[in-house]
Amino acid sequence: MTPLLSVRDVSKSYGQRIGCTEASFDLYPGEVMGIVGESGSGKSTLLNCLAGHLEPDRGEVIFDTRSDGPRDTLRMSEPERRMLARTDWAFVHQNPRDGLRMAVSAGGNVGERLMAVGARHYGKIRDGAIDWLGRVEIDESRIDDRPRAFSGGMQQRLQIARNLVTGPRLVFMDEPTGGLDVSVQARLLDLLRGLVREMGLSAIIVTHDLAVVRLLADRLMVMKSGRVVETGLTDQVLDDPQHPYTQLLVSSVLQV
Amino acid sequence: MNDYNFAYLDEQTKRMIRRAILKGVAIPGYQVPFASREMPMPYGWGTGGVQVSAACLTPEDTLKVIDQGADDTTNAVSIRKFFETTAGVATTEHTRGATVIQTRHRIPEEPLTEDQILVYQVPIPEPLRFLEPRETETRKMHALEDYGLMHVKLYEDIARHGAIATSYAYPVKVEDRYVMDPSPIPKFDNPKLESAAIQLFGAGREQRIYAIPPHTRVVSLDFEDHPFEPTKADAACDLCGAEHTYLDEVIIDDAGGRMFVCSDTDYCAQRQAAGHHGRLSPEDAA
């Protein structure tokens, strides 16, 4: 089986400081990978390198494209990479304000990706938007409201709808539940888990919240100071941590 | 004779502007940066258009200046006087008699010919500006033909108003490549952008020049189920009776009285001279 995403030795440094270094892994179709670590451990840097937002200093990010099979996305031309970013990829930001257009209605936000890939039929774009708002549990009557009028949880769900409307195969998520209260988090996780299973999505989730990866991720990668210190199946890593840092991380979680 | 160099600008500046114009003509719809000069008028009064006109004028030219369709409003009168003083060129109010026409927010009703130049004053040349505030990003979007965002604006119009409510500065795609802001002309004028005349756009404050060469394909953006529609007031001109021209609405008393008149004053005057009259024409005029 060809991996959907194959990461080889990706490194990025900010001058003298290391952002992330020598990260390598394979992600198979339908698999959800969690990246955990404390603030500043390089997990966001790695995610941004993979998603093409940052240019890594070294390494390869090979994506199995629909048309020509595995390609190194770092060596693609900018138009190709942008096309990939709005068809096969999705990026869910921690702060929905980064991922949404706050001055554009919910329907327009969801429809943007459709229009960017060439949809030019208003009725169909709107139907697509209504369908997706329903799937993320936003009432159809809110379609013409701006995201400003939405609660934090709704904004995050809207961002997810906007990203998934073109049927991507790989979703990057940067702390998707950060800044939400626990009950809203639970609903969002439930929703995400459903969508991931239903659509057969592959996903890379960056988070510092171990509960999130326990629920969503099949596999786990633990990062510290820009390096991957431990990888394995989620339950294995969380229940039987090997690296001292992972042990510390797991034992730091408050038990209620 | 006066102490100004011909058409106010010095020759080097005019050469620089002409180079930008040539580049603009070579890449229809592409915004060419140029070193806009301080002009003896405030930004927003047509400094871009004036510089382009100055670079195009020759002593043999006849200049016409339009302000919102009219030849007799402040902007038109001032710019006409400016070039009468600094270039000593002949001026006219007749579209047909002019070789260079500088315009603000209208295209003349009279079809233009191949030996005419139409110069537009442009306040904001970037059609994506209010959707994407970063210039670096909009340039990249133009370079990569990444124009999905433009349709988001039209989508928002339909979602909010039931129809595409953008009625001026309606975005167009030039020669299947660049999305362009046609300056704030009413969308009624958009079909006239496919013209025999060469059309030059100058934005002074924003320091951009762009162009549409003669007979270039210019398509107004729309949706399949909401096609582009040039709109105008649903009335006839009250002075010349024309039903096919763009109309201004004028309030004439404080009791709800109003009249519609052609926005193109020259066209209206010529029709009246030819014996056409409308609802409010003076009795003895015919």
Model confidence over B76-106: pLDDT tens digits? 999 999 999 999 999 999 999 999 999 999 9
* A140 residue type, one letter: E
Residue B285 pLDDT > 80, yes or no?
Answer: no
A120 interaction partners in chain B (CB closer than 8 Å): 151, 223-224
- Please count the residue pairs, one from chain A and one from chain B, whose beta carbons lie less than 8 angstroms apart: 52
Please give the average per-residue pLDDT across B171-191, as a whole number. 96
Tokens linked to A244: 């001292």
Using DSSP, state whether A248 is helix, strand or coil: helix
Above pLDDT 70, what percent of chain B? 98
Which pLDDT does position A188 carry in this prediction?
Answer: 86
Test A120 with B151 for CB contact under 8 angstroms: yes
Q: What is the pLDDT of residue B2?
A: 67
Whether the CB of B244 is below 8 Å from some CB of chain A: the reply is no
Q: Report the alpha-carbon distance of residue A141 to residue A138 in Å, rounded.
A: 8
Rounded to whole angstroms, how far apart are CA atoms B32 and B28?
10
- Please state, as a whole number, how many other Cβ atoms lie within 10 Å of the Cβ of residue B231: 15
Pairing of strands A5-14, B218-220: unpaired
Annotated catalytic residue B29: yes
Query: What is the residue type of B253?
Result: D
* Measured CA distances, A53 to A12, A73, A127, B284 (Å): 12, 11, 31, 73
- Set B29, B46, B49, B69: catalytic member: B29
Record: contact B224-A107, CB cut-off 8 A: no
| Residue in A with minimal Cα distance to B156 | A108
A107 touches chain B (CB under 8 A): yes
If you average pLDDT over residues B18-31, what whole number do you get? Answer: 97
Q: Which residues of chain A have pLDDT under 70?
A: 256
CB B122 within 8 A of CB B201: yes
pLDDT tens digits for B224-244? 999 999 998 999 999 999 999
- CB contacts of B224 in chain A (<8 Å) are 120-122
Min mean pLDDT across A70-79, B19-28, B203-212 is at A70-79
Q: Quick check: B19 and B11 in contact, CB under 8 A?
A: no
Q: What is the pLDDT of residue B286?
A: 46
- Residue window 57-86, chain B: list those with CB within 8 Å of chain A: none
- Phi–psi pair at A93, nearest 5 degrees: -80, 155
Instruction: Report how far residue B101's alpha carbon sits from residue B54's, in angstroms, rounded to the nearest whole number.
Output: 11
In 3-state terms, what secondary structure has residue B229?
coil
Query: Who among B144, B155, B159 is closest to A115 (CB)?
Result: B155
Angstrom distance (rounded) from CA B245 to CA B263: 8
Distance from CA of A232 to the nearest CA of B (A): 40
Q: What is the mean pLDDT of chain B?
A: 94
Among positive and negative, which fits the CA dihedral A49, A50, A53, A57?
A: positive
Considering only CB atoms, which chain B residues are within 8 Å of A111?
152, 155
Confirm whether B237 is a catalytic residue.
yes
Among candidates B151, B152, B160 on the partner chain, residue whose Cβ is nearest the Cβ of A144:
B160
Using a CB–CB cutoff of 8 Å, tell me whether A162 touches chain B: no
Say if the Cβ atoms of B156 and A125 lie within 8 Å.
Answer: no
Q: Is B240 a catalytic residue?
A: yes
CA distance A116 to chain B (A): 4
Quote the minimal CA–CA distance from A81 to chain B in Å. 11
Q: Is A55 on the interface with B (CB under 8 A)?
A: no
- Reported as a single tens digit per residue, the pLDDT across A69-112 is 899 999 999 888 988 998 899 999 999 999 999 989 999 999 99
pLDDT score for A39: 86
Measured in whole angstroms, how far is the alpha carbon of residue B75 from the centre of its chain? Answer: 14
Cβ–Cβ under 8 Å, residues B28 and B212? yes
Total H helices, total E strands in chain B: 6, 12
**Active-site residue (options: B49, B69, B240, B278):** B240
Q: Is the pLDDT of residue B284 over 60?
A: no
Query: B56 catalytic, yes or no?
Result: no
What are the start-end ranges of the E strands in A188-250? 202-207, 219-224, 227-233
Q: Name the token pair of B182.
A: 């046609």
